Structures are given as C-alpha cells and as structure tokens.
Amino acid sequence: MTRLTDVFPGLKVTPVIGILRGLGSEEAEMAAGLALEAGIPLIEVTLDTEGAFDQIKRLTDRGVTTGAGSVLTENAAERAFSVGAAFIITPAVVPSVVRACAEASIPCIPGAATPTEITMALDLGAAAVKVFPADLLGGPAYLRAIRRPLHDPPLIPTGGIGPDNAAE
C-alpha cells in the first residue's frame, strides 16, 4: 500500500493538512501562504466553500499542493482533478470517489469512524483514512486502541485537534 507520506514527503516533517473552509479567494491565498511559511505542506479547500474549484486552481497555479475536501460524489472528484487537485478528502467512505481517485492516481483520504470503515476505505485503495470526528470518538486513546489490531494503518485524526493535544 502506498502511504500518503510516500506521495507527500513533507508530511513526514509536519504531519498537518491545513483546511480552508468558507474563505474568500484573497483570504484563502493569504491563509495558504501563512500555512506554507509555517511548514504546513498540504492545503485542503472544502467544496462547501463558495468558489472552491476556482480557489483550488488558483492555489495550485501558485505552486501550493492543494486538494479538495468534503467531496461526496465522483463528479465532484473529477471536477477537482480537472482544476489540479493533488488529493481528495471525503467526510465518509464513498466507494465511487475512492475508486475514481485510484483510477486517476490521485490520493484519496476518506473519512471513517469505525475499524470496519477504516478497513473498507483501505481495501478500496485509500492512501490514508481521516478519522472523524476524532475528539468525539475518544481522541488519542481511541486512535491507540484501533491502531494495533488494524496493523498501524495510515490515520489522520480530524476534529478537535489543536496545540494542546496534537503531539499526543
């Protein structure tokens, strides 16, 4: 299995994906620039943001490794590919999206909450799995509890992660 850190080595240094949700284009460009300065290697623009596809294209054209988030349909994933999205993030395991990403050789990070969903996402070809909402599922203790029996899958906790608990 290809891990996300194999595709994006910068995640080995700073294992953070910046999320831009609900920002205007100028704000998004400023936030992405600040994130890059802080060492955050990847930026996700959520598709529930007005003009999300234009933002992805603008950031990608400026050399920012940008992906599309909150992707729920194969059509949305394909549109994101067409504007240069380097990765796709879904809020749930959406088999058609994961398969479309695999066919296009674009890393997909589907959201999952249970060991069954995590295993299914990886079996479909996910590059990593977004454990969401990590804080409500039990935070670091939950992640530790599921890692070993699932053979240390590539997990990205999302939701309730901040400076106070990021290291854990």
Q: Among candidates 40, 38, 43, which has minimal Cα distance to 59?
A: 43
Q: Among candidates 34, 53, 37, 36, which has minimal Cα distance to 45?
A: 53
For residue 95, what are the contacts with CB-CB under 8 A and spacing of at least 6? 124
Catalytic residue among 50, 117, 130, 168: 130
Among this protein's residues, is 12 annotated catalytic? no
Separation of alpha carbons 27 and 94, rounded Å: 30
Among this protein's residues, is 57 annotated catalytic? no
Catalytic residue among 29, 37, 44, 117: 44
Residues taking part in catalysis = 44, 130
